[in-house]
Structure 1
């Protein structure tokens, strides 16, 4: 499982006629639950996973109400310290970043904050929308999304960067749908912005 492309044909949203699937990269510290979240989205069930040595990639179809939906090509990249320098090459020209944190492992939030700010402030990431998934909300002692937002100093990211922090759980899927809907809205808003500014000239 993982480390391969699925055979599902991408389905373009009616709002996005110019490309087939949105490119989204999932990053975060090791053991944050990135791969479990990916397979919860893909298979609608909790899959116990082993640490990712490189990357996993899956096409995920997300319903957006009615018959509409959007397809995300999701890349899940390993979070071990030795793999983090690779994040930049995986996130090049991405439509959106998903940064996953373990809400119950509070002692690593400072480390997560450093990595989040490092990747989002890279020159080629300026303005790429960031969805922070505060995972493991099902665990005792997990911090709320608002507290995670504060600890990660999400509001201190570049002014041009659209952000949203969403509490979620890979175990029961709670919060994933609204989080991805919000990410889609942020990506759409960013894609429309350059066209709007050109029209004003």
Structure 2
């Protein structure tokens, strides 16, 4: 953590269904290590340094059903939304699609860029980003910049690149 107050960096909100791997992903980004996590009640927050000049404040908000109604309280200064899905759990894609559409319907997120992270790509039964993009109906989000990237929080694959892309989207929006 740097000396600067977290509010001086662009705010990125990390949401998704419970067990998608948000806290593992954030811990891996911030510490470079895989940590045992438990379901998030409330939120975790950290400052992610992408390079010497660029940092993002990343909020990981709990994804259990009972917590999702609280997502809207974290959106005030949101510059990008990162939606994490478990790419190895196709049974929950309809629920993920519904949660994503709901959070994107909030006025605070109008025009805010979206990054979908298809996590757990290291698992043998994980779906492709094309399959996930279709299941989440991402092409319908024509009113905002969006990208989808595969990643593995456990292996650390694709995380840094994804957040570099998030930062580029913030600059464009």
Alignment partner of 1:28 is 2:6: no
Change (3 A) 1:138 1:124: same
Q: Which has the higher contact order (CA 8 A, sep 6+)?
A: 2
Determine the C-alpha separation between the residues in 2 that align with 1:147 and 1:69. Answer: 36
Equivalent-residue separation in structure 1 for 2:109 and 2:92 (angstroms) = 24
Shift of 1:92: 2.1
Residue matched to 2:149:
166
TM-score for both structures, normalised by structure 1: 0.82
Unpaired runs of 5+ residues, structure 2, are: none
- For the pair 1:134 / 2:122, whether they are aligned, the reply is no
Matched, 1:187 2:154: no
Q: Where do 5+ consecutive residues of structure 1 fail to align?
A: 1-6, 12-18, 191-201
Deviations 1:107-148, CA, capped at 9 Å, x for gaps:
001100011011112222110011100000001100111211
Does residue 175 (structure 1) correspond to residue 158 (structure 2)? The answer is: yes
Larger radius of gyration: 1
Counting matched residue pairs gives 172
Moved over 3 A (4+): none
Aligned to 1:37: 25
Q: TM-score under structure 2 normalisation?
A: 0.94
CA RMSD of aligned residues (A): 1.4
